C-alpha cells in the first residue's frame, strides 16, 4: 500500500469512497444528499492537502490535512479520513493516519486535533486512542445519527512529538 498526494484525476475514485459514507450519515456531519460536486469541493477546500491510499493500484482511502484554525491556532493540524467500505479492516485508516502524522510534522504542525469524532464511531475512537490521541472534550448530543438518534461527539487531541509510527512515547 502507498499513500500519495491526490490529483484531480483521482476525483472519481475519491467520490466512490466519499459517497457511501456521506449517504450513510453515520460518521460525518455532512448532508446525506450532498452532490458529488459539493462533496469534492469540500474535500478539496482551499487549505486542504488531499492524499489517497492505493492498494495494488486501486484507491482505497483518502484524507485531507489542514490547519485546525488560523492565526494563533495554525500550529495544530486537523484531518478528515475516509476508507472505502470494501477495504475496512485492512489497516488503510492506520496507514493514512501515520502518513498524516509525518506529513503534518513536515509541514510544521506540532499537534493534531479532531473536532468532531462521532461517539458511536468506535472503530475510529479505538484507532485514535491506540495512536496516542486523548479525548479532551465531549459535546453532548451534538450529532443526529440516523438510527441511534442524538449522540455525543468527541474532541480528540495528540501532540505530534509524543507519537512515532503510531506508538505513544512514554511520558
Domains of the chain and any CATH numbers: 2-168 (3.40.630.30)
Mean pLDDT of 140-168: 89
Q: Is 158 helix (H, G, I), strand (E, B) or coil?
A: strand
- Per-residue confidence band for 162, with pLDDT thresholds at 50, 70 and 90: confident
**What own/partner pairs with CB < 8 Å and gap ≥ 24 does 41-48 have?**
43/14, 43/18, 43/80, 44/8
Report the chain's mean pLDDT, rounded to a whole number.
95
Please classify residue 53 by burial: count the beta carbons closer than 10 Å to its beta carbon, then call 0-12 exposed, 13-18 middle and 19+ buried.
Answer: buried
- Residue 167 pLDDT > 90, yes or no? no
- Residue 122 pLDDT > 60, yes or no? yes
Please classify residue 49 by burial: count the beta carbons closer than 10 Å to its beta carbon, then call 0-12 exposed, 13-18 middle and 19+ buried.
Answer: middle
Please report the pLDDT score of residue 163 as a whole number: 76
- Of 43-47, 84-88, 103-107, 159-163, least confident by mean pLDDT is 159-163
Grid coordinates representing 131 are: 495512536
- Residue 168 pLDDT > 50, yes or no? yes
- Residue 4 pLDDT > 70, yes or no? yes
Which residues have a Cβ under 8 Å from the Cβ of 138 and sit 6 or more positions away? 119, 152, 153, 154, 155
Q: Is 1 helix (H, G, I), strand (E, B) or coil?
A: coil
Amino acid at each position: 500500500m502507498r499513500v500519495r498526494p491526490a490529483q484531480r484525476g483521482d476525483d472519481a475514485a475519491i467520490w466512490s469512497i466519499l459517497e457511501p459514507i456521506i449517504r450513510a450519515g453515520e460518521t460525518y456531519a455532512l448532508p446525506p444528499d450532498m452532490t458529488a460536486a459539493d462533496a469534492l469541493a469540500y474535500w478539496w477546500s482551499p487549505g486542504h492537502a488531499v492524499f489517497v491510499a492505493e492498494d495494488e493500484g486501486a484507491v482505497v482511502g483518502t484524507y485531507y490535512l489542514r490547519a485546525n484554525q488560523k492565526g494563533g491556532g495554525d500550529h495544530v493540524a486537523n484531518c478528515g479520513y475516509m476508507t472505502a467500505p470494501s477495504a475496512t479492516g485492512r489497516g488503510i485508516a492506520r496507514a493514512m493516519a501515520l502518513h498524516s502524522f509525518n506529513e503534518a510534522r513536515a509541514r510544521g504542525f506540532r499537534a493534531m486535533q479532531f473536532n468532531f469524532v462521532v461517539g458511536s464511531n468506535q472503530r475510529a475512537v479505538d484507532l485514535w486512542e491506540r495512536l496516542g490521541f486523548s479525548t479532551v472534550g465531549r459535546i453532548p448530543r451534538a450529532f443526529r445519527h440516523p438510527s441511534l438518534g442524538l449522540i455525543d461527539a468527541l474532541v480528540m487531541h495528540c501532540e505530534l512529538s509524543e507519537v512515532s509510527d503510531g506508538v505513544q512515547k512514554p511520558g
